[in-house]
Structure 1
Amino acid sequence: MKKFRSNGKLFLIGEYVVMDGAKAFALPTKYGQCLFVSQLSEQSNVIYWTAKKHDDSLWFEVKFELSSLEILETSHQKLSESLQSILRQAKQLNPSFFESNLAYNCETKLEYPQQWGLGSSSTLIDLISKWIEIDPFELNKMTFNTSGYDIACAHNNQPILYSNQPIVEVEKLELNWNFIDDLYFVYLNQKQDTQAVVGNHYKNKPKDLELINELSNLVIEATKVKTLHDFEAIMDEYQDKLAVFMNQPKVKDLYFSDYTGSVKSLGAWGGDFVLVTKRKGFEDYFKQKGYNIIVPFREMIL
């Protein structure tokens, strides 16, 4: 049996403008997804695929004909068709892999609750790429066509500075912050469709090159901060500038306007997790508002 593993992702700062070539500061998570592959002795030209959630319960299962990737049996048609589409694009990148008269048993396993939004799609792209020996960034372009920061997180075991124009560039970062224990992730009790949010609130707006450069510079500054005060100032300034451009309220203004620390949206505004900076009694503050999943930075980030 072969085992492949890919990290999940959280987008600290650089959201939206990364689509236009700006720098992005992203965080690979300790939680990810695994793929276990066994080549079976039978010469049946099939792939048996089982996807499991973090608690070992069944997500879905499907049986493909290997060479055509036709769905032979499935417990969930829509999810199986999505996987089928990814595998068919992977076949374009490595056709010979699917031409042998072999049989495979594949099982994926999430390491976190699915609703956390840490990258079940990006980790799947990366896992399939590792198994089939293709470029995950190319497969991502052919399928979900995200900025690619999530693929870079899947591949790297420390925080990264990422850009994708004119080519993909990934710089590994050492965070020598003395305030890491003042940083926490709070789950907002909702799964957000990142691609839809980007499409609705950023993609269709005229490009502001001056703003893109300003925000990209703030991202770079964020990688060099020494104090919690400076970190908070950059997070707040980034969100203030972006909120004006997008004509969208910040998540702090919507839900936590009386909180004295910073609240930073991660990735798509309004969904999944936010990063908060610690203040006295902060856990009680968020729990009283119904947000009970509060994860320390050290427990979440590689």
Structure 2
Amino acid sequence: MKTFRSNGKLFLIGEYIVMDGAKAFALPTKFGQCLFVEDSSEKSNQIIWSAYKADDSLWFEVQFQLDSLEILSTTNQKLANSLQNILIQAKSLNPDFFNSNNFYTCKTKLEYPQEWGLGSSSTLIDLISQWIEINPFELNQLTFNTSGYDIACAHHNKPILYTNQPQIEVEELDLNWDFKDKLFFVYLNQKQDTQAVVGNHYKNKPKDWGLINDLSELVLDATKVDNLTDLESILDEYQDRLEAFMQIPQPKELYFSDYEGSIKSLGAWGGDFVLVTYREGMETYFKAKGYDTIIPFTEIIL
């Protein structure tokens, strides 16, 4: 059996502007997704694919013809169609693999609750690319066509500074922060399902290159801070300026306006996790509002 693994991701700062080639500061997570592949010569020309959630419950199952990638049977047509499209695009990058007449039994397993939104799609792209031996950024471009920071997080084991223009560049960062114990991630009890809508909202606005350049400088500044106060100042300024441009409220304004610390939206605004800086009584504050998933920085970030 072959085993492949990819990291999940959280987007600290640089969201939206990364689509215009700006720098992004992202955090690979200790939780990700695994792919287990068995290759048998007893049968031929099929893929049996089973996807499992973190609690070992079956997410969905599908059976493909290997050479044509025709769906022979499935428990979830929508998910099967999505996986089929990924495999079709993978085949365009390495057609010989799908002409091998082999029989594959594939099993994926999430390492975190599905609703957390740490990158089930990006880790899947990276896992399939490892298995089929293709470039994950090329496969991403042919499928989900994200900025690619999530693909970079999938196979880097340190925080990264990422850009995709004029070409993909990834720099691993050593965060020697002595204030990591003051950083927490709070789950907003809703998986991010507005990413496409909000992303298009940004894309459809006229480009403000002055703003993009200013925000890019804040991203770089965030990688160089050595104290919590400076990081809070950078994160707050980034959100305030982006909010004014996009006319979309921050989660802090919507839900936590009386919290004294910083609350940073991560990735597309509207769901999943936020980064929270510690203040006395923090845990009691969030739990009183119904937000019980509070994870220390060091327990989730590589």
Give me the TM-score of the superposition, normalised by structure 1.
Answer: 0.99
* Alignment partner, residue 250 of structure 2: 250
Q: Does 1:121 align with 2:121?
A: yes
* Alignment partner, residue 264 of structure 1: 264
Measure how far apart 1:194 and its partner are.
5.4
Give secondary structure in 1 for the equivalent of 2:253.
helix
* Alignment partner, residue 43 of structure 1: 43
Give secondary structure in 2 for the equivalent of 1:170.
strand
Measure how far apart 1:196 and its partner are.
1.3
**What do the CA deviations read for 1:176-196 (whole angstroms, capped 9, x no partner)?**
111100000000000113541
* Alignment partner, residue 184 of structure 2: 184
- Name the % identity: 75
Q: Indicate if the aligned counterparts of 2:199 and 2:268 stay in contact, CA closer than 8 A.
A: no
Q: Indicate if the aligned counterparts of 2:261 and 2:277 stay in contact, CA closer than 8 A.
A: yes
Could you list the structure 1 runs, at least 4 aligned residues long, displaced by more than 6 angstroms after superposition. none
* Alignment partner, residue 158 of structure 1: 158
**What do the CA deviations read for 1:12-33 (whole angstroms, capped 9, x no partner)?**
0000000000000000000000
Q: Does 1:287 align with 2:287?
A: yes
Distance in 2 (alpha carbons) for counterparts of 1:99 and 1:116: 37
Distance in 1 (alpha carbons) for counterparts of 2:107 and 2:157: 23
* Alignment partner, residue 140 of structure 2: 140
* Alignment partner, residue 235 of structure 1: 235
Length, aligned pairs only:
302
* Alignment partner, residue 298 of structure 1: 298
Give secondary structure in 2 for the equivalent of 1:126.
helix
1:14-163 matches, cutoff 5 A: 14-163=14-163
Distance in 1 (alpha carbons) for counterparts of 2:54 and 2:218: 36
**What do the CA deviations read for 1:76-131 (whole angstroms, capped 9, x no partner)?**
11100100000000000000000011100000000000000000000000000000
Range with bigger deviation, 87-96 or 248-257: 248-257
Distance in 2 (alpha carbons) for counterparts of 1:174 and 1:92: 37
Matching residue's letter, 1:269: W
Distance in 1 (alpha carbons) for counterparts of 2:301 and 2:198: 24
Q: Indicate if the aligned counterparts of 1:197 and 1:268 stay in contact, CA closer than 8 A.
A: no
Range with bigger deviation, 135-144 or 186-195: 186-195
Distance in 2 (alpha carbons) for counterparts of 1:57 and 1:30: 21
Distance in 2 (alpha carbons) for counterparts of 1:215 and 1:176: 23
Matching residue's letter, 1:10: L
Distance in 1 (alpha carbons) for counterparts of 2:183 and 2:156: 21
Q: CA RMSD in A?
A: 0.8
Could you tell me which runs of 5 or more consecutive residues in structure 1 were left unpaired when the two chains were aligned: none
Give me the TM-score of the superposition, normalised by structure 2.
Answer: 0.99
